[in-house]
Amino acid sequence: MPGFFKKTSITLEMIKWEHSVFALPFALTAMLLAAHGHPGWRTVAWIVVAMVAARSAAMAFNRWADSDLDATNPRTSGRAIPAGLLSRAFVLGFTLVAVGVFMVAARALNRLTLELAPVVLVVLLGYSYLKRFTRWSHIGLGLALGLAPSAAWIAVRGSLDPRILVLTAAVTMWAAGFDVLYACQDQEHDRAAGLHSLPQATGLTMAFWVARLMHLAMLGLLVWFARLFSFGLAGWLGIGAVALLLAYEHSLVSPRDLRRLNAAFFTMNGVIAMVFLAFVSADLWLRR
């Protein structure tokens, strides 16, 4: 048992489970809008469980699928599987357990969430293989996170409102943009390994411009989303705050200087998601 708990701890560190905060606030935003406020603690709890389990499954599967590639990349060779800290079998087992927890949570929410859960899993797990075939794999990663708001809406309502798809598109562009930036640090390895990414295909300068355009698209979609849901002042201020934070994120890195990429990727994106949730929550409260 001590060995099992140690391996589980290493796995949680490997998948950076605390970074579930990336998409979770957008899911909670959709949840609050769907419920016109608080949907009840039972629903909140199962949505959080589903989100954390889904991301854990996706990240663990990604580390399992990429373990051979990680071993050849100086940046990732110290990860748990190539470093010999975890076996591929253990990580695959962890993935299956996380998938099981996700399915249980989906069933606990409503029938439609359960019926659509396998589709979500195809997107979450399939992303790991996209970079073997297309430079637009970043969109796959974006969609994996972007499904969160639509899934949370369905979890509350048991049906899908087309308006929430605008937030799904916004989150997709947001996540795809920062994934393009994150991939810049692996440009040379991807080229040598025959993997596909925008930085590998277009060079760093063009990849940065694509990431900027994706984030501008995100802001445009958020403006559309705000109009669809008749945001008040607090909601609009939230979009303004997201714009400022994105601008700051892009100021941290450049094609010639990637040293602060982790700060831009991990810290700022978590802040952006939480800030948006806070302002939309305030907007809903003020309009009650």
19 pLDDT above the threshold of 70: no
SS (H, E, C) 195-254: CCCHHHHHCHHHHHHHHHHHHHHHHHHHHHHHHHCCCCHHHHHHHHHHHHHHHHHHHCCE
101 pLDDT above the threshold of 90: yes
Q: What is the pLDDT of residue 157?
A: 96
CATH code assigned at 14:
1.10.357.140
Structural domain span for residue 173: 2-286
Lowest mean pLDDT among 114-123, 126-135, 149-158, 160-169: 126-135
Q: What is the pLDDT of residue 2?
A: 59
Residues near 284 by Cβ (< 8 Å), separated by ≥ 6?
Answer: 32, 33, 36, 37
158: number of Cβ within 10 Å: 13
pLDDT band, residue 12 (cuts 50/70/90): confident
Q: What is the mean pLDDT of the chain?
A: 92
* pTM (2 d.p.): 0.94
Looking at the structure of the chain, the number of domains it has is: 1
Q: What is the pLDDT of residue 84?
A: 92
